[in-house]
Chains A and B, each alone.
Chain A
Amino acid sequence: MKKNNLKAWLYLLPALLFLIAFMVYPLMDVLVYSMEEGYNFASQTYYGVGTYNYSYVLHDPYFLQAVKNTFLLVVITVPVSTGLALLISAGLNSIKPLKELFQTIYFLPYVTNTLAVGLVFMILFQKTEYTNGLVNLILGLFGMAPIDFIDGPYWAKMLVLCTYTIWVVLPFKILVLTSALASVNPDFYKAAQVDGTSKFRVFTRITLPMISPMLFYLVITGFIGAFKAYSDAVALFGTNLNAAEMNTIVGYIYDMLYGNSGGFPSYASAAAIILFVIVLTITCINMLVSKNHVYYQ
């Protein structure tokens, strides 16, 4: 028994080494950085140990704006994208002809470059001196005044960011959910049909519970992914996100390290730790809530 254990550890060793070197150690280091007050990059010295960095970050209006943006993004995009993906995959699953073609089409955005797609979105939504953009053109047909989505009011920019994020995350979710739906044993549907179950009830009482593990997986990874959003905002609004009021928490961390106002690894570390705590808390809440609603076979 003992010998077997030793062998097991030996097999695990390579993975463990990498995990420790590239995850545990950096994580600890970030924690240490975040506690060092007045850290000087050049001389690698600091004045003392304490929570000043956290206090600074939590009182920084840019950080608060970033937190607000991130939370809005999470709260809007995760439910909407998951719901949409569920609708689309349920639709895909119920058609027979051209099913594969549609699946491929829906999956295409996943293999497309984020920045390129961001540029396309920007062109669709942007209002310049020469053109109001395609979206405004369509809105104009309904008699609406043109809106500057990229450089205009906050809600318009948030709308574009959310739309873009949803569009980007949708393909993967559709892929996962279509395969989950296809794996439900058709006998369940036959049994339900014999018992005269309405379509709606079949979906809510049979289909949803059956695919709940996959749904739960998508919600958890969706939350984490949305909390870590950064490149999407850059693709749409450029690198000066603070000026555009569109910064995210990860964007804030990046700016603190390398941006124009950068060079503050302590503040960046504190912000990173705060993000870590937020994500951890939300994930725990997710786990607790889902415990009674997710069925594992």
Chain B
Amino acid sequence: MKILLENLTKKFPERGRKARGEVTAVNNFSFEIPDGKLIGLLGPSGCGKSTALNLICGLETPTSGKIFFGDKDVTHLPPELRGIGMVFQNYALYPHLTVQQNILFPLENLKGKDRLSKEEMMNRALNAAKLVQIDQLMDRRPGELSGGQQQRVAIARALVKTPGVLLLDEPLSNLDARLRLQTREEIRKIQRATQVTTIFVTHDQDEAMSISDLIVVMKEGSVQQIGTPQEVYDNPSNLFVAKFLGTPPVNVFEGEVRDETLHIGEDAVLKAPGVSNQKVWAAIRPEGFLPDENGPFRCRLNRVEVMGRDVSILSAHTGCESSAIRSIISAEQIIDPDAETVCFSLKPGKVLLFRKDNEERIRLGGNPS
């Protein structure tokens, strides 16, 4: 089902004794989520992504704005009438019920003409369980399952009513690293199989990048950028998005554009066609450095970390915001770890310029990266 958000805003009264004002958790959200896609709501903690999810779910009512599922305005519908399935961060499985009873629970709530026969309910529950591969565990209690299995039960319970929209709140945060990788593939697979429009909330950019069709990057209640993972990574609309996406994170330098050339410190490192003279933030992705003896960008070499597939070079530069610049180069290139300085040339597409005042992106003229 297609989801449309129109100027969606949610304000909470401020907590605390002296508090008078309001906190805007979700600020003027307007975007469309196409049918059958997997959307990642991404942002640091406290940016309002869970509130946004709760608004779509119906657990919270918006202060203003509208929500449409398909062509239907669901803004003031209670959650149970919206046709959604929700997976909570802690799964919220009923601990005193077996897996089967947990999955049956939503079906048993149906009343009147929607009520299914006992057999049909069992059938549906079994199908949902098979979809997430837990049909062997039907008689266990949640306490007897591993985190990953509990997660699947929660997904099965959310899917058993065949909802039009599936909402996942930090679905992977309670799993260990290895399981996280596995489970996110699993979620992707289930979403593909069911073709249900899915929104999931995460603060982990890796997670969002790896499985989403579209990423919505949020900061302090406002949408920063919407796009496919690659778009958002290659073409961030502001410095925040650039910093938030990518591991290792982007290296940020104070630079200056003079005569259509980017200077970092004293080094004239890159052509910047069509950019007027100004001070800028220059953000360089770790993979944007090419070791080059005659390269224009000279750094003090600190350390070389060999990681097998590639090599990570830690170096320092006076213009760099953080104390260490991390660059990743292919392992075939040999760097002398005892050298004092290391020189790089830069890949133009991996260098992003942002305005110093509002941190908005500066697009290079003639050479759209």
Contact = CB atoms under 8 A, between A and B. Distances in A.
B95 interface: yes
Contacts of B78: 193
Given A193-B59, A194-B57, A201-B109, A187 B92 contact: yes
Nearest to B79: A194
Contact of B106 (A187, A190, A195): A195
Interface string A160-189: 000000000000000000000000010110
B96 interface: yes
A83 B94 CA distance: 24
A295 interface: yes
Nearest to B87: A191
B80 A195 contact: yes
Interface residues of A, number: 20
B100 to A, nearest CB: 14
B86 interface: yes
B88 A195 contact: no
A73 B59 CA distance: 46
A134 interface: no
Most buried by B among A187, A190, A195, A209: A195
Interface string A25-51: 000000000000000000000000000
A187 B90 contact: yes
22 contacts: A187-B90, A188-B92, A190-B59, A190-B86, A190-B92, A192-B105, A194-B57, A194-B58, A194-B59, A194-B79, A194-B85, A195-B157, A195-B161, A196-B80, A196-B110, A197-B80, A197-B109, A201-B108, A201-B109, A209-B94, A209-B96, A210-B96
B84 interface: yes
A198 B95 contact: no
A206 interface: yes
Nearest to B167: A194
Nearest to A294: B96
A194 B86 contact: yes
A206 B109 contact: no
Contacts of A297: 95, 143
A191 B86 contact: yes
Which 6 residue pairs are nearest across A and B when measured between Cβ atoms? A196-B80, A295-B96, A195-B106, A191-B92, A187-B92, A209-B96
Contacts of A209: 94, 96
A193 B88 contact: no
Contacts of B90: 185, 187
A193 B109 contact: no
Contacts of B105: 192, 195, 197, 205
Interface string B36-47: 000000000000
A198 B360 CA distance: 50
Nearest to B107: A195
Nearest to B161: A195
Interface of B: 57-59, 78-81, 84-86, 88-90, 92, 94-97, 105-106, 108-110, 143, 157, 161
Interface in A80-129: none
A190 B78 CA distance: 12
Contacts of A195: 80, 105-106, 109, 157, 161
A239 B108 CA distance: 57
Nearest to B101: A205
Contacts of B59: 190, 193-194
B5 to A, nearest CB: 19
Contacts of B88: 187, 190-191
A201 B101 CA distance: 14
A191 B95 CA distance: 13
Given A185-B90, A192-B105, A196-B106, 7 more contacts: A188-B92, A191-B92, A194-B79, A194-B85, A195-B157, A196-B79, A295-B96
A196 B109 contact: yes
Contacts of B57: 194
A196 B57 CA distance: 12
Interface string A277-297: 000000000000000000101
B94 A193 contact: no
A205 B116 CA distance: 19
Contacts of A201: 108-109
B79 A193 contact: yes
Contact of B92 (A185, A196, A212): A185
Contacts of A190: 59, 86, 88, 92
B51 to A, nearest CB: 13
A210 B97 CA distance: 11
A211 B298 CA distance: 67
A194 B95 contact: no
A188 to B, nearest CB: 5
A188 B96 CA distance: 12
Most buried by B among A192, A194, A206: A194
B84 A194 contact: yes
A27 B95 CA distance: 42
